[in-house]
Homo-oligomer: A and B are copies of this chain.
């Protein structure tokens, strides 16, 4: 076919690119960390994404390289680009998803609304920030955190003592990020897709519900998001994608504050859990959109196909047996549920699948999605 996408990383995000790639007629190849991962069906190579020779050999047979995660080192990405490989998102954009201090600094330059924050290298600097913000704050390691890991709410600088001690040895550039504890009413997420040639489209802003630092469910579009709020979320998403030169999907996680402002929480430069609803709920799902964007193909319509879509994660899975053993009960009771599983062994807290339901009655859609997902978890 002549169009080949290479995805670095064999997790569920790579897996969920397979379906739209097959339908569109795009050849998809995956560099997996090991055998038997979620995206094993499309894995053409197994190896270490931190090793330039491995990634270079993988890149040789594809038209564009993209990612299941944001962990490929900058030096690997830059070496590929220097050799003429199409890499989307590229290292100049990805660094802002790889390092939260770089992100905060760049968003400040762009005038994006965000929580008060500071770069701190000592206990004294951290305590000083806390003293200025009601005695509390959120400390984050700039790199390597996800799903609540590398994030800690503290009431005293000493509670981050271990992280400061580790700073000298680790990859975090000698500093931590501290942010004010935002007084928010809920969390939202804004999905945007952008092509290398500049075309950019936004999805409706969605509401995300976190439990234990992990995304539990998503409602699309966000209920009670009036025109002003939705427009503000879209404005922020588009400005960040343009300002950071993102190519592919961008997810902007947002706080809606008690005084009705939006503040940027986190960024992800790839399909993101907050966009999974679009697989069944939008004309163009985020995984197809990501493929189109990184291939610099025209972007697809982002409109919802029904008034509401709800996504509920299957977290942990069954204590005994496989997810497949739960299909019958879930499908019998919830024939409208779209079940997505990732081929991962169940383990406490692990994201092993999700359920999407669409419809025109939000209460019913929420009920169906939650109830269907609950069949997969003990």
Q: Measuring CB to CB, which residues of chain A are less than 8 angstroms from any residue of chain B?
A: 1-3, 15-16, 18-20, 22-26, 41-42, 279, 283-284, 292, 297-301, 303, 305-306, 322-325, 327-328, 331-332, 335-336, 338-343, 353, 358
Contact = CB atoms under 8 A, between A and B. Distances in A.
A325 B2 contact: yes
A2 B322 contact: yes
Nearest to A40: B27
Top 5 nearest A-B pairs (CB, nearest first) are A25-B341, A19-B19, A298-B331, A298-B332, A301-B336
B325 A23 contact: no
Contacts of A2: 322, 324-325
In the complex, which of the residues A1, A20, A297, A305 has the most CB atoms of chain B within 10 Å of its own CB atom? A1
Contacts of A327: 3, 24, 297-298
A252 B52 CA distance: 55
Contacts of A301: 335-336
A358 B324 CA distance: 31
B298 A336 contact: no
Give the number of copies in the complex.
2
Given A19-B19, A283-B335, 10 more contacts: A1-B343, A18-B19, A23-B341, A25-B341, A25-B343, A283-B336, A284-B335, A297-B331, A300-B335, A301-B335
A1 B332 CA distance: 20
Tell me the dominant secondary structure on chain A's binding face.
Answer: mixed
Contacts of A15: 22
15 contacts: A1-B341, A2-B322, A16-B22, A18-B22, A18-B41, A23-B339, A25-B342, A25-B353, A41-B41, A292-B331, A300-B331, A300-B335, A301-B336, A303-B336, A305-B358
Contacts of A299: 331, 335
Contacts of A1: 322-324, 341, 343
A341 B24 contact: yes
A229 B339 CA distance: 33
Contacts of A332: 298
B25 A328 contact: no
A185 to B, nearest CB: 32
A23 B358 CA distance: 17
Nearest to A284: B335
A324 B26 contact: yes
A335 B20 CA distance: 15
Given A1-B322, A298-B331, A323-B1, A339 B24 contact: yes
B292 A324 contact: no
Contacts of A324: 1-3, 25-26
A305 B304 CA distance: 10
A23 B343 CA distance: 9
A1 B24 CA distance: 26
Contact of A305 (B26, B305, B343): B305
A356 to B, nearest CB: 10
Contacts of A358: 283, 305
A360 to B, nearest CB: 11
A292 B335 CA distance: 11
A298 B328 CA distance: 6
Contacts of A303: 336
Contacts of A306: 305-306
B16 A19 contact: no
Nearest to A279: B23
A2 B326 CA distance: 12
Contacts of A298: 327-328, 331-332, 335
